[in-house]
Amino acid sequence: MKRLLSLLVLCGWAVSIPVYGQPELSPWNIRSADDNGAIEFDIDTGEVVARNGVIVSYQGKDGREAELQADRVTLNQQTGEIEAAGSVFLRAEGQSWVGDRLQYNFKTKDIKTGSFRTGYAPIFAGGLQLQASISNNVYTATNAMVTIDDLAKPYYRVEAKELILVPGEYVKAKKATVYIGKTPIFYLPSYYLSLKQHERFWVTDPGYRSLWGTYLMAEYNWLVSDRLHTAMHLDFRTRRGIGLGPDIKLDLGRYGRTEVRAYYTRDGSPELNAGGRQMDGDRHRIHFTYEVDVRTNFTVKAVLREQGDPFILRDFFEWEYQENTQPSSFVEAEYLWRNYTLNALVTPRVNDFFERVERLPDLQVTGLRQQLGNTPLFYESQSSAAYLKHEFIDNSQQPFAATRLDTYHQVLLPKTYMGWLNITPRVGQRYTYYGETEGGFAGPEMNRWVFNTGVEASFKLSRTWLELELPQFKSKGLRHIMEPSLNYAFVPSPNMMPTELPQFDSIIPTLRLLPLDYPDFNAIDSVDSENTLRFGLRNLFQTKREEQTDTLLAWNLFTDWRLRTRPDQDSFSDAYSDLDFKPRDWLTLTSETRYDLDDGRFNLADHRAILSPGDRWSLSLGHRYVRTAPRLGVGHNLILGSWYYRMNENWGFNVRQVFEARNGASQEQSYSIYRDFRSWVGALVFRLRDSEGGTDDFTVAATFSSKAFPRVRLGQDRDNTNYLISGR
């Protein structure tokens, strides 16, 4: 008897069925949906018959995956043809199909169904019979319905005797009737609906903000072509006046891509946000970007960001201000070889109210880590030539400028001992030439030499418990990977100390531990002596949830022991800890701390908890503490919280709070109410900000967005209500 009648009762989450004795080469994965599933498998024909719930996954030669779930299936693995019945769900080519019966070919991607439902946002369809080839992207259905309403019972819909759907392009219907609710509105012998975004449309955002007064932000969009998108802003604020300006995006094909954004406003009350600074009412900004891939290994990018004053982004473009408070202008070209890169950078100072280091230009050649012939040695280098000028805010200090030539070369010897211990000694040399310095840091020509050496050692330990049950974490199996590391760096005192050199690339204060070795440590002008051991310990715990590998816990610890300290250093640096813990797939806990070993106190403590047990509600709680200290700057002690709750299909709300525990003040609180209008979504936002002694900033804003072409990505606004205020 050819058919193998042995029934494999599949227990647990999944059991893979091998094909022709080569499971590692098989594109098929067949598993039971629960403990009651059963499978019959014929080795000779490759036919599989399964019942009581089964999941079939297939990965084609193009790397794309398809997955089908049903109560009963008959699958021919040689032809790829499957017949499925009972609660059928198919996911393929970025689209999902739901029905009672379905025929599908995983290889040719042809599909036939009886009654069906499918979704390919922004279009959803259903009908009694469908035949199509997913690879051709054309679907033909009879007695069908199409809608842009994403609810189970669509309110707006078109019912037709025959329907042709091309996702992303158009819908054609014959003998169509348009319905609103249960009421037929009108009949059309032929119906056509374009699924592309409208060529011309308006976007408006009304609201009230105490710093603006009543406002209306209007934006007229014109999609001239697939390569040219233009928008014109026309904004009105009762307290601040009228603002206007164009946005232009142009795709030049092989000649690159460019974007221009300009804005001008005659501000009626510039003093409201000036922070005591005298500003003219004529305010503007110009942003220009151009980038081109000359070759696959040669790219050029130019950015111009010119502003009339330092606060225009903060006052009128909150999104941009949060991303970059002091935007810079530059021209950069990069050429890549197999082992080397050439980078040319020009950074002129466009806005004199920002501190900036001009590079006119800065040429850098980087030698990537590469083996030296047939030797066990590896080599890396970094050399640059630049004319640099350091200018200060509003020219408050006299600028200084100099020519700088810098070259660094390092040789490494990575070796593995006993099959598990990795040791990499290194030795390097840096030479830096400074031309005669002009301006505030006047000085003669200088030559600096820096020698460095060190060694890095690490190894990995791992252990796996495949059958370990973890019911408290809803997972099975555990793998622990531990990686201790030690990095020793020795740099004798250079012949020129940092205080004797003009500071162009200096150490920027940060809450993180700076790189220990070169060339990762790139503060060229602040290179000083070093005799330090860095200890690190990385822990990774992995488990399996629903047959997928998931990280249960990741914990990294590191600190420095300075064998010889400089006047500004202690024997031990702070101890750093980064921890991510995911006890359930809906719960994530994170911790980032920085502990002062000498004083016995935390300099930084940042803890977060994110709960998302479903699409009904989500909760985010956090606490961030930074101690005020000379090396840390002005600290804070913030308590943060965000709660989203969806009451039903139509209504939801979000509450966000930022509380400063040091002075007992609520820095920011916002309340958002969401309304689903089926094809559209709307939100009403209330936000209050404490200006720390000044006038509180209160905002009420309304926004609307089409589901088909949303202005804000899903979940993007939950922790940042700026995306719902003023549209930018």
3-class SS of residue 122: coil
Which of helix, strand or coil describes residue 271? helix
**498 Ramachandran zone, left/alpha/beta (phi>0; psi -120 to 50):** alpha
pLDDT score for 71: 86
Rg (CA), the chain: 32
Distances (CA, A) of 606 to 311, 368, 538, 602: 29, 36, 19, 10
Phi, psi angles (nearest 5°) of residue 709? -135, 75
Assign domain 114-196 one CATH number from 2.30.110.10, 2.60.450.10, 3.40.50.720, 3.40.50.300: 2.60.450.10
Higher-confidence residue of 206 and 197: namely: 206
Tell me how far apart the alpha carbons of residues 39 and 521 are, in angstroms, rounded to a whole number: 59
Distance CA 684, CA 703 (A): 7
Lowest mean pLDDT: which of 60-64, 337-341, 372-376, 624-628? Answer: 60-64
Q: What is the pLDDT of residue 713?
A: 55
Looking at residue 16, its pLDDT comes to 37
pLDDT digits (tens, 9 = 90+) for 398-447: 999 999 999 999 999 999 999 999 999 999 999 999 999 998 888 899 99
Average pLDDT over residues 373-389: 96
The closest of 117, 96, 147, 119 to 678, measured between CA atoms, is 147
Q: What is the pLDDT of residues 301-351, one digit of tens each?
A: 999 999 999 989 988 998 888 888 889 999 999 999 999 999 999 999 999
Nearest alpha carbon to residue 145 among 156, 135, 136: 156
150: confidence class by pLDDT, cuts 50, 70, 90: low
CATH code, residues 574-728: 2.40.160
**Beta strand 421-434 pairing with 461-470:** unpaired
Phi, psi of 22 (to 5 degrees): -130, 70
**Residue 344: what pLDDT?**
98
How many angstroms separate the Cα of 477 from the Cα of each of 471, 549, 582?
A: 11, 10, 15
Q: Name the percent of the chain lying above pLDDT 90.
A: 51
Model confidence at 4: pLDDT above 80? no
* H or E element that contains 521: none
Supply the mean pLDDT for the chain.
Answer: 86
Nearest to 432 by CA among 530, 503, 341, 361: 503
**Phi and psi angles of residue 239, each rounded to the nearest 5 degrees, phi first:** -95, -20
Q: Is pLDDT above 70 for 668?
A: yes
**Distance from the first to the final alpha carbon of the chain:** 70
Distances (CA, A) of 418 to 485, 632, 644: 16, 43, 54
CA-CA distance, 402 to 395, in Å (whole number)? 18
The rounded percent of the chain whose pLDDT value lies above 70 is: 89
Quote the CA–CA distance of 124 and 118 in Å, as a whole number.
6
CB 329 within 8 Å of CB 350? yes
Count of CB atoms situated within 10 Å of the CB of 143: 14
Burial of residue 265, with CB atoms counted within 10 A of its CB: 0-12 exposed, 13-18 middle, 19 or more buried: buried
Q: What is the pLDDT of residue 38?
A: 77
Residue 275 CA to residue 460 CA, distance in Å, equals: 54
Amino acid letter, 587: L
Residues 6+ apart with CB under 8 A from 288: 258, 259, 260, 261, 302, 303, 304, 305
| Residue boundaries of the structural domains of the chain | 1-107, 114-196, 204-327, 574-728
Tokens 């390092």 correspond to 410
Could you tell me if 542 and 554 are in contact, meaning their C-beta atoms sit under 8 angstroms apart? no
Name residue 465's amino acid.
W
d(CA 60, CA 260): 42
Which of these, 680, 596, 640, lies nearest to 149 by C-alpha position?
680
Taking 70 as the threshold, does the pLDDT of residue 274 lie above it? Answer: no
Q: Give me the pLDDT at residue 7, please.
A: 31
Report whether the peptide linkage leading into residue 122 is cis, meaning its omega lies within 30 degrees of zero.
yes
Identify the pLDDT of residue 120: 63
Distances (CA, A) of 236 to 242, 267, 286, 377: 5, 11, 19, 66
Write out pLDDT tens, residues 66-78: 888 888 888 888 8
Q: How far apart are CA 219 and CA 232, in angstroms?
A: 6
Pairing of strands 446-459, 356-371: unpaired
pLDDT given for residue 709 in this prediction: 60
User: Residue 693: which pLDDT band, with cuts at 50, 70 and 90?
Assistant: low
Secondary structure letter of residue 17 according to DSSP: P
Our measurement of the distance from residue 571's CA atom to the centroid of its chain's CA atoms, rounded to an integer in Å, reads 38
Fold exhibited by the domain 1-107: lipopolysaccharide transport protein A fold (2.60.450)
Q: Which helix (H) or strand (E) holds 456?
A: strand 446-459
Q: So what's the pLDDT on residue 714?
A: 55
Confidence (pLDDT) at 15: 34
Phi and psi at residue 598, to the nearest 5°: -75, -45
Lowest pLDDT segment from 124-128, 383-387, 442-446: 124-128
Contacts of 229 by beta carbon, 8 Å cutoff, 6+ apart: 221, 222, 223, 248, 249
Q: Tell me the average pLDDT across 221-231.
A: 91
Query: Can you tell me whether residue 352 is helix, strand or coil?
Result: coil
Task: Return the closest-CA partner of residue 74 out of 62, 84, 59.
Answer: 84
Res. 13: pLDDT tops 90: no
Q: What's the pLDDT at 587?
A: 94
List of residues 6+ apart from 42 with CB closer than 8 A:
2, 3, 4, 48
Given this chain, do its domains 1-107 and 114-196 carry the same CATH topology? Answer: yes
Encoding tokens for residue 99?
């029905």
Strand-pairing partners, residue 400, are 390, 439
Read off the pLDDT band of 536 (50, 70, 90).
very high
For residue 16 the two structure tokens come to 């893979």
Beta strands in 224-281 (DSSP E): 228-237, 241-251, 257-266
Residue range 385-406: mean pLDDT, rounded: 94
Q: Across 149-163, 403-417, 566-580, which has the greatest mean pLDDT?
A: 403-417
If one compares 497 and 395, the residue with the highest pLDDT of the two is 497
Asked whether 384 and 406 are in contact (CB, 8 A), the reply is: yes
